[in-house]
Chain A
Amino acid sequence: MVERVPSPDELCQWREEFEAAARRPLRIRMKYAFVKTYKPVLDDAPYRSFDTMADYRDWCQKNLPDWLGYGRTV
């Protein structure tokens, strides 16, 4: 996957979004930012740990559905 380059219009729109967010108090920003949806496999165990980040990335690559976006691109 190649990282895309934003268009000038996108950059303008993002800047407007950043300015709007800056006008909101942190409590409200967090209310809008944190969401909860079920993530298959990832949410199916109460606890996981990995000795190394590489182990964790490998586990994600092998066990999670691609559409969750946890797979490596490089």
Chain B
Amino acid sequence: MAGRFDYAQAEEIKVAFARFDVRYLFIGKSGAVLLGYPDTTQDADLFVEKSAENGQGCVGALRALGFELSEATEEEIRRGKDFVQLKNGPFDLDLVFAPDGIESFAVAWKNRVDTEGFPVCHPDDIIRSKEAAGRAKDIESLPRLRAFRDYWKAQR
């Protein structure tokens, strides 16, 4: 089992994904944490633009980060399966190519927030995706996440 995700690894993602020109956004609770949301989470979640070129770059970046990818896995990432869960690298990483509740990558990209160089989904989009997912753990966390969104907006 990989260790817990940390700041240095987030930096490594930023550098590797930039090197391979990958368009992506932090999403989910990991994205909210980057924006200042105080809560706990286990994995990093990335919303990756679905295109062959971006998928190819993503494969290169993941290899550079130390993930072990089979040819079949590489092909699935290039193809952009909606959800890819990696637990075979230096940290656990979820790649989401079509998150629930978000119209398109282009829309999320337009709404994105840059925090210390990390591209992050807008809190409204993070909330929309959790509302649409409708999981028990999301329903529990939504009231506090919405309160954070309101606080975050008021500070800007």
Interface residues of A (CB under 8 A from B): 1, 3-6, 11, 14-15, 17-22, 26-27, 29-39, 43, 45-53, 55-57, 60, 66, 68-74
Contact indicator B135/A14 (Cβ below 8 Å): no
Interchain CB contact (< 8 A) of A18 among B38, B86, B115 = B38
Q: Which of B3, B73, B86, B136 has the most CB of A within 10 A?
A: B136
Known: A3-B142, A34-B33, A53-B100. A70 touches B38 (CB 8 A): no
List chain B residues, Cβ under 8 A from A52. 82-83, 98
- A1 to B137 alpha-carbon distance, docked (Å): 10
CB within 8 Å for A29 and B83 given contacts A14-B147, A46-B88, A52-B98: no
The reply to whether B137 and A70 form a contact with Cβ atoms under 8 Å apart is yes
Instruction: Tell which of B1, B40, B138 touches A35, judged by Cβ atoms closer than 8 Å.
Output: B40
Further 9 A-B residue pairs, CB within 8 A, beyond A36-B4, A49-B83, A73-B135: A17-B38, A18-B37, A22-B36, A26-B34, A30-B33, A34-B33, A47-B88, A70-B135, A72-B135
Q: Which residues of A contact B85 (CB under 8 A)?
A: 47-49
Bound complex: CA A45 to CA B33 (Å): 26
> Given A33-B38, A34-B5, A53-B98, are A6 and B144 neighbors across the interface (CB < 8 Å)?
yes
Instruction: Name which residue of chain B comes closest to A30, CB basis.
Output: B7
**Which chain A residues border B98 with CB–CB below 8 Å?**
52-53
Contact A39 B137 (CB under 8 A): no
CA distance A30 to B142 in the complex (A): 20
Q: What number of residue pairs across chains A and B have CB atoms under 8 A from each other?
A: 141
Pull 21 A–B residue pairs with CB atoms less than 8 Å apart, ordered by A: A14-B147, A14-B148, A14-B151, A21-B37, A29-B36, A30-B33, A33-B39, A33-B40, A34-B33, A36-B2, A49-B83, A49-B84, A49-B85, A50-B83, A52-B98, A56-B83, A69-B137, A69-B138, A70-B137, A71-B135, A73-B135
